[in-house]
Amino acid sequence: MNYYIIAGEASGDLHASNLMKELKVVDPKAQFRCWGGDLMKEQGATIVKHYRDLAFMGFTEVLMNLRTIFKNIDLCKKDISQNKPDVLILVDYPGFNLRIAEYAKTMGIKVFYYISPQVWAWKESRVHKIKRIVDKMFVILPFEKEFYQRYDYPVDFVGHPLLDAVNQFSIQENSLPLNSNKPIIALLPGSRKQEIATMLPLMLSMQKHYSDFQFVIAGAPSQNKEFYQTFIGDSEIKIVFNQTYQLLQKAEAALVTSGTATLEAALFGVPEVVCYKGGAISYAIAKKLVKVKYISLVNLIMDKEIVKELIQNELNETNLKIELDKLLVSNSRNIMLENYSELKLKLGGSGASKKTAELMFNYLQQ
């Protein structure tokens, strides 16, 4: 079958690539045309557009890049119309993907959605649109199935694909290229230029307080070393690219920009502080619209604060040091690690990509 897959971010590239790997098992004749990244390309995808050209952060940034976004939407519609896939598989990235889903539906193409938009957090009214234009939804968070049931929309809960990614990695040998024997504090400042430029200087301000530790930055594959160097200057802080999991496996603690990385750190058992600071206008709008109590996936899934979230004005050098101190003390650290064990149980076990691929293929055969 011909699969058309759209992933607009680094995490989507990871999950889509693992799904493709499993789709090739159930459908050896699978052909993939995609919007995504290098991991999807490794699985044999023809990449129409790389996700690094698609990711814009915050309301103001989106407004500034509207012309580019609409050009990309038009390009995607034309490409789908020319290639006429058997199924369109959308991976998160709702602003773009829901528009494409609507178009594909008018063409009679099956629409599957893997990793639900966060409609439970904001724009809940989008559920009605999803019901109308998405044939099958595959959700990865335990509370999402119940959420959609309230709208009489049956969805498949498949478990979280990060469990597989982390489990597969944990059995590999770790070859992180670091010379120092000092314990590691990992810095995960995000993948987009805007968020890195905001978060990384604050994270780096911790170095002078912890001379017994080495600080290592997880570089985003969509950015180059020179970009990070502008923040690091002459300091000895190291950057590693495409080795985030190796870094987390060795880290004593982590400072993490909110997003998928908060869950990755938890699954590797790394105590973390979650950091987020956006543009003043974007944040003010988000605060009015977003309905959830937490910004990190870890706290959302557990429905309680088990990792500290420093948001907007609370994210400053003083608070960051207070919270990082706690992570390096055994009592606070042990409580967080116990909560991480409970988190893994809530996520529904391993095999999400395999389960999703089998369900998708079966639905397409019916």
Q: In what order do the strands lie in the sheet with 238-241?
A: 238-241, 214-219, 184-188, 251-257, 272-276, 308-311
d(C-alpha 220, C-alpha 270), whole Å: 19
Amino acid of residue 176: L
**161 HSE (CA, 13 A, CB side):** 24
Question: Do the first three CATH levels of 2-159+351-365 and 169-346 match, i.e. the same topology?
Answer: yes
With pLDDT > 70 as the criterion, what percentage of the chain qualifies? Answer: 92
This prediction's pTM: 0.79
Q: Is the pLDDT of residue 281 over 70?
A: no
Give the phi and the psi of residue 16 in degrees, each rounded to 5.
-65, -40
Q: Is the pLDDT of residue 57 over 60?
A: no
- Is it true that domain 2-159+351-365 has CATH number 2.40.40.20? no
pLDDT at 79: 97
Q: Domain 169-346: give its CATH code.
A: 3.40.50.2000
What would the DSSP string read from start to end of 107-146? TT-EEEEES---TTTS-TTHHHHHHHH-SEEEE-SHHHHH
Give the confidence band of 131 by pLDDT, cuts at 50, 70, 90: very high
Q: Is the pLDDT of residue 362 over 90?
A: yes
Range in 61-65, 116-120, 242-246 with the lowest mean pLDDT:
61-65
Q: If you count DSSP H runs as helices and E runs as strands, how many of each does the chain have, helices first?
A: 17, 13
Buried b (16+ CB within 10 A) or exposed e, 125-156: eebebbeebbbbbbbbbeebbebbeeeeeebb
Amino acid of residue 32: F
Give the phi and the psi of residue 252 in degrees, each rounded to 5.
-85, -35
Q: Is the pLDDT of residue 280 over 70?
A: no
Span 163-184, pLDDT tens digits: 988 888 876 667 787 878 899 9
CB 350 within 8 A of CB 163: yes
**Structural domain spans, the chain:** 2-159+351-365, 169-346
Give the confidence band of 237 by pLDDT, cuts at 50, 70, 90: very high
pLDDT at 95: 86
d(C-alpha 54, C-alpha 6), whole Å: 11
CB 34 within 8 A of CB 80: no
Closest CA to 274 of 302, 295, 292: 295
